[in-house]
Amino acid sequence: MGKKKNKNKVSGAVKTAAKTEKKLANKLKKELANLGEEDIAKVIAEIEREEAKRAAASEKNLPGPPSARAYASLTPHPTNNELILFGGEYHNGQKTEVYNELLFFNPSNGAWRRVKAPGAPPPRSAHQSVATQANKGELWVFGGEFTSPSETQFYHYKDLWCFSLAEKKWEKVVAPNGPSPRSGHRMALLGRKLIVFGGYCDDGRECRYYDDVHSFCLDTRQWAKLTPAGRGPTARSACIMLPAGNDSLIIYGGFSRVREGRTERTQTHNDMFRLSVKGTGWAWRALAPGSAAARASQAAAVNVHSNRGYVFGGVCDVEETEEDIRGEMSDDLQVLDLETGRWHNVVLRSEQTPANPAVPTEQSSDAPAETVTVYEDEVFTMKLGGAPTPEAPTQATEAPRAKAPGPSGRMSAMLAVQRSQLYVYGGVLERDEKQFYLSDMYSLDLHKLNEWKTIIEQPSLPDWLGSDSEDDESGSGSEDSEDESDED
């Protein structure tokens, strides 16, 4: 008989990899000791243990609005006229702070309150959350990332949490076969299932983007990886994903890094897809994006009563030279018809060009037929501009019409629709190679479309303590921001 093979024998390549990993771990320990930081995994575990010790929930009204932040989640309360703000981060160029605050905003009186409940998740940003009316209201949170203050460590989560709005307590839902750790992904509720798509994970040595789709059944509490038929979107983060009824959703845009040989390039997407239930399975279908620009880190929210999605802001790469790329912020508000997949600009009445009083129409007779689209339902009539078109030169006698007050261009803001009101909060403004985290908030009546209402003013931009924009996602590693300058 020949020699018995040692099944436990380790190859030279594995040994080398293990030694390299050990060296990197020891190097990190030394660097953290010099910075006065602990290992990030230990920090997170300790935070979770401390949160689990809380015996009962407590509530406190805030004396003022929350601090500036981005990459948080802003979710409409499923039963009350409230908004739920969870998590997020703030970065000033030198230090990053990540939150696990659970805040409630009451639009009726403009008051904010903080709820500290037993068993809360550790701090995170670039996560996703959705709310459902089941069991008197639940908030579901998945994934995200935690960044150490010095930005030397990043930790991506793969955990799923459920907050009972009635009992005011958190539950960490343990279920196998879920998505891998990630942030910058998207999650939507279809019927009684949470659908998770995309995202990215950066362990400091490799940055990987995902194009996988996972489903979590709220009834059985089980994960399943979906394998839709057809060609779907490529791997990406920072896209928009909106549910279209209970059997399909639309994905548009996003950001990724593409490796070509030894070089790497960034890519901002402008393609659009529909994922639908087909019989017992799922299928992708490519949609024509129209004239929608390539953009990432847009804020998006759905109005379930009208089957329309609202999309605000975002960023795209503008190549100034062969070596310099600038992130261009948008302040556009657009609406996406989730049934037809068509885009329209939202033109506020305060921004419309005054028409000839003798001709009470919304458009001139020679304008394209699709310039104005009218939606009518039992509640209101909504008039929207058509798809973006190049502006014609104005005559010298015409003065340019000033843009009405409202949210400035930004990326990774928080957006939500609650009772026919659209809300925008925070986000990141990039200016002169600096990234400023914002704290302003606005609302827009979707019935009247008159003008933006300022809820929280942005008195001045916060201090920037960094020298310039670092090459990291979101200025802090978050890729729910765009990765451009870099960001979600």
The H helix count followed by the E strand count for the chain is 2, 37
Q: 296 pairs with which residues across the strands?
A: 315
Residue 402's pLDDT is 53
Q: 173 pairs with which residues across the strands?
A: 160
Residue 308's pLDDT is 95
For residue 399, being part of any structural domain is answered with no
For residue 13, being part of any structural domain is answered with no
| Domain region containing 50 | 32-353+368-388+407-475
For residue 359, being part of any structural domain is answered with no
Given pLDDT bands bounded at 50, 70 and 90, which one contains residue 304? confident
Cα separation, 442 vs 423, whole angstroms: 6
**Sign of the torsion formed by the C-alpha atoms of 289, 278, 129 and 180:** negative
Higher pLDDT, 98 or 465: 98
Residue 384's pLDDT is 55
pLDDT tens-digit readout, 217-237: 999 999 999 999 999 999 999
For residue 3, being part of any structural domain is answered with no
343 backbone dihedrals φ, ψ, rounded to 5°: -95, 150
For residue 8, being part of any structural domain is answered with no
Residue 488's pLDDT is 61
Mean pLDDT value across residues 407-415: 97
Contact assessment for residue 285 and residue 267, using Cβ atoms and an 8 Å cutoff:
no
Q: 104 pairs with which residues across the strands?
A: 84, 113
Contact assessment for residue 192 and residue 201, using Cβ atoms and an 8 Å cutoff:
no
Q: What percent of the chain has pLDDT over 70?
A: 76
Residue 290's pLDDT is 79
Q: Which two tokens stand for residue 16?
A: 């080398």
Residue 473's pLDDT is 40
3-state secondary structure of 27: helix
Mean pLDDT value across residues 363-391: 41
Of 168, 218, 243, 197, whose CA–CA distance to 417 is shortest?
243
Residue 261's pLDDT is 78
pLDDT tens-digit readout, 234-254: 999 999 999 998 899 999 999
Residue 37's pLDDT is 73
Q: What is the mean pLDDT of the chain?
A: 82
- The total domain count for the chain is 1
Higher pLDDT, 152 or 361: 152
For residue 276, being part of any structural domain is answered with yes
122 backbone dihedrals φ, ψ, rounded to 5°: -65, 165
For residue 486, being part of any structural domain is answered with no
Residue 381 CA, distance from chain mean position: 29
Of 224, 146, 154, 152, whose CA–CA distance to 190 is shortest?
224
Cα separation, 467 vs 480, whole angstroms: 23
Residue 264's pLDDT is 81
What is the value of pTM for the model shown?
A: 0.83
Cα separation, 343 vs 291, whole angstroms: 8
CATH code for the domain in which residue 78 is found: 2.120.10.80
CA atoms within a 13 Å half-sphere pointing along the CA-CB vector of 266: 29
Q: 193 pairs with which residues across the strands?
A: 190, 217
For residue 358, being part of any structural domain is answered with no
DSSP H helical segments within 36-192, as ranges? 40-52
